């Protein structure tokens, strides 16, 4: 038994981890979900009051979020939610394509046959879900596809994996509704199919190219959703 498990029972009473950790996750989740308006201010005291905790953990959470770029300092008046920037979105997707393309090229040489088989199974399920219009299930399958695909990467190249996960997180800001169109879901699954094929062929160059265009498609979807939202906002 590991030493820290000794008091596991007591610790499980509290939701999870420290107040700082919880505060951080709370703010992060809301930020990524777009629950705060752009340029809205977040002060330590306000957050602390809302959560009923002291300023100390809130402070540390906010500083961590600043390092991640999810909030920006507002010159002596706390932090501010950064405004959406199409230019930044394009840049983030560009970097993502670069990193994930490279990651896949790496995986092409080392991935296990059994993993490929599992990936194929996941695609099959996603395909069926797509046909029946169950977009939530497609989303879940895609997530598991992603996790499985990158689990090996995490072991082989932890830094690259970490960077990719960071990029994915940042990008979430620009995809506020996880609601995907049916065509988008179809395209995504088709992209995964091609990728697994390239992977099974062990073609590094092809893997890289396919992953890049897969990311580019995701970017276009995000862009379309974004434009739709703007139209909606203008109507209001």
Partner DNA sequence: TTTCGGAATTTTGGATACATTATGCCCGGC
Partner DNA sequence: GCCGGGCATAATGTATCCAAAATTCCGAAA
User: Would you say 10 or 159 has its CB closer to DNA?
Assistant: 10
Q: Does 22 bind a copy of itself (CB under 8 A)?
A: no
> Binding of DNA at residue 56 (CB under 7 A)?
yes
Note whether 13 binds a copy of itself by CB under 8 A.
no
Asked if residue 19 binds DNA (CB under 7 A), the reply is yes
Q: Rounded to an integer, what distance in angstroms lies between the CA atom of residue 66 and that of residue 77? A: 14
Nearest approach in angstroms of CB 78 to a copy of itself is: 15
Q: Of residues 88, 127, 140, 203, which one binds a copy of itself by CB under 8 A?
A: 88
71 binds a copy of itself (CB under 8 A): no
160: contact with a copy of itself by CB under 8 A: yes
Computed over its alpha carbons, how large is the radius of gyration of the chain? Answer: 20
Q: What are phi and psi of 80, to 5 degrees?
A: -135, 150
Write each residue from 95 to 114 as x if it is in contact with a copy of itself (CB under 8 A), else as -, in one continuous string: x--xx--x------------
Estimate the share of the chain in helix, then strand, then coil, as percent rounded to the nearest 5.
75, 5, 20
State yes or no: residue 74 binds a copy of itself (CB under 8 A): no
CB 62 within 8 A of CB 27: yes
Reading the block at residue 210, the tokens are: 């396919």
Stretch of 108-116, 134-142, 152-160, 190-198 contacting a copy of itself, by CB under 8 A: 152-160
Task: Kindly state whether residue 4 participates in binding DNA, applying the rule CB under 7 A.
Answer: yes
Of 8, 70, 73, nearest to 33 by C-alpha is 70
Q: How many helices (H) and strands (E) does the chain have?
A: 10, 3
38 contact partners, CB below 8 Å, separation of at least 6:
81, 82, 83, 84
Stretch that binds DNA, among 48-56, 138-146, 166-174, 222-230 (CB under 7 A): 48-56
Would you give the DSSP letter of residue 77?
S
Q: Which residues partner with 42 through β-bridges?
A: 79
**Site for DNA contains 177 (CB under 7 A):** no
**54: contact with DNA by CB under 7 A:** yes
Shortest gap between Cβ of 47 and DNA (angstroms)?
A: 8
Total residues in contact with a copy of itself, by rule CB under 8 A? 23
Query: Using the rule CB under 7 A, is 59 a contact of DNA?
Result: yes
Q: Report helix angle 204-235 to 182-201, nearest 10.
A: 170
Q: Does 32 bind a copy of itself (CB under 8 A)?
A: no
Structure tokens of 52?
């009923």
Q: How far is the CB of 63 from DNA (least distance, A)?
A: 7
Element (H, E) at 129: helix 113-131
Site of interaction with a copy of itself (CB under 8 A): 4, 56, 59-60, 63-64, 67, 69, 75-76, 88, 91-92, 94-95, 98-99, 102, 157-160, 163
């Amino acid at each position: 038994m590991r030493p820290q498990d000794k008091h596991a029972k007591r610790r499980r009473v509290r939701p999870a981890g420290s107040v700082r950790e919880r505060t951080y996750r709370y703010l992060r989740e809301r930020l990524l979900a777009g629950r705060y308006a752009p340029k809205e201010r977040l002060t330590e005291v306000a957050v602390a009051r809302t959560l009923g905790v002291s300023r100390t953990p809130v402070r540390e959470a906010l500083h961590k979020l600043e390092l991640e770029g999810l909030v920006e300092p507002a010159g002596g008046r706390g932090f501010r939610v950064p405004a959406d920037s199409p230019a930044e979105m394009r840049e983030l997707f560009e970097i993502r394509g670069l990193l994930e393309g490279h990651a896949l090229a790496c995986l092409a040489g080392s991935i296990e046959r059994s993993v490929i088989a599992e990936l194929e199974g996941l695609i099959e399920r996603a395909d069926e879900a797509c046909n029946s219009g169950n977009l939530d299930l497609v989303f879940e399958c895609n997530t598991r596809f992603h996790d499985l695909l990158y689990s090996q990467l995490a072991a082989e190249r932890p830094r690259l994996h970490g960077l990719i996960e960071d990029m994915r997180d940042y990008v979430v800001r620009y995809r506020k509704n996880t609601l995907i169109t049916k065509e988008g879901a179809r395209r995504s699954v088709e992209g995964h199919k091609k990728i697994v094929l390239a992977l099974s062929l062990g073609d590094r160059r092809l893997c890289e190219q396919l992953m890049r265009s897969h990311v580019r498609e995701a970017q276009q979807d995000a862009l379309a959703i974004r434009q739709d939202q703007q139209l909606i906002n203008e109507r209001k």
